């Protein structure tokens, strides 16, 4: 059994619990997916599958090598491919098998991996959450980084010093999100909380590796 599925972030909403509490939730298009390639320990050294997210319409252009790759798996070309490791005893899984959202259930805990929103060039405060100086009139130290190195020794800024720079577009995993709703007819999964990326971003949803509530 494949304990993961590929999907897209459709957006955020809110869910009302029976006691009246309101919780933020993210709606994900989860699948359907197809197994494009099966990797085995005997041939490849590890157990894994390559999943492809089925979308309509499919990609307009496919390179010759990828066209042969999909043809070998008797699968239609897809845009989004990701490899998922398999646990021992995963069962007989072969190329062409379908992976659907029905494997998840309400109250399951999942890990969602995606690419965070790009924020461009950001300063110290926004990028690293620096506290900054006093806000009173005349402080002249409102949004400065403070000391970034010693003057006598080593008389230079050490590598790795937190500084202003490019922020976002990083691979981020949010762990232990609770599944609120599963809609198999719409291939939709609703999880409690936020997931990385903007609307329409591709994500990988896995059953939690270290679940805790």
Secondary-structure class of domain 4-113+172-207 per CATH: alpha beta
> What's the angle, vertex CA 195, arms to CA 191 and CA 199, rounded to 5?
100
| CB atoms inside a 10 Å sphere around CB 94 | 10
pLDDT value at 204 more than 90: yes
Provide the terminal-to-terminal Cα distance of the chain, rounded to the nearest Å: 24
Q: Give percent of the chain with pLDDT exceeding 70.
A: 98
In 3-state terms, what secondary structure has residue 70? Answer: helix
**Cα–Cα distance for residue pair 198/47, rounded to 1 Å:** 32
Which of the two residues, 149 and 169, has the higher pLDDT score?
Answer: 169
pLDDT tens readout for residues 42-92: 888 888 888 888 888 888 888 888 888 888 888 888 888 898 888 766 668
CB-count exposure of residue 195 (10 Å: 0-12, 13-18, 19+): buried
Of 47, 20, 51, the residue nearest 33 (C-alpha)? 51
Ordered by start, the domain boundaries in the chain are 4-113+172-207
Contact between 63 and 79 (Cβ < 8 Å): no
Contact between 54 and 33 (Cβ < 8 Å): yes
| Residue range 166-175: mean pLDDT, rounded | 93
pLDDT value at 116 more than 90: yes
Distances (CA, A) of 172 to 150, 204, 205: 34, 11, 12
The model's pTM is 0.81
């Amino acid at each position: 059994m494949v304990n993961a599925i590929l999907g897209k972030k459709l957006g955020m909403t809110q869910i009302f619990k029976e006691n009246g509490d309101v919780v933020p939730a993210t709606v994900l298009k989860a699948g359907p997916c197809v197994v494009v390639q099966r990797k085995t320990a005997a041939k490849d050294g590890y157990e894994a599958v390559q999943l492809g997210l089925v979308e309509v319409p499919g990609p307009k252009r496919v390179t010759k090598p990828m066209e042969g790759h999909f043809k070998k798996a008797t699968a239609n070309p897809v845009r989004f491919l990701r490899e998922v490791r398999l646990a021992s005893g995963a069962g007989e899984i072969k190329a062409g098998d379908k992976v659907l959202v029905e494997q998840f259930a309400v109250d399951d805990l999942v890990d969602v991996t995606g690419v965070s929103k790009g924020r461009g060039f950001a300063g110290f405060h926004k990028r690293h959450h620096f506290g900054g100086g006093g806000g009173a009139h005349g402080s002249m130290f409102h949004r400065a980084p403070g000391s970034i190195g010693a003057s006598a020794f080593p008389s230079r800024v050490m590598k790795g010093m937190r500084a202003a720079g490019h922020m976002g577009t990083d691979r981020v995993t949010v762990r232990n999100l609770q599944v609120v709703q599963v809609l198999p007819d719409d291939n939709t999964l609703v999880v409690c909380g936020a997931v990385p990326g903007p609307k329409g971003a591709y994500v990988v949803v896995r059953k939690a590796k270290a679940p805790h509530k």
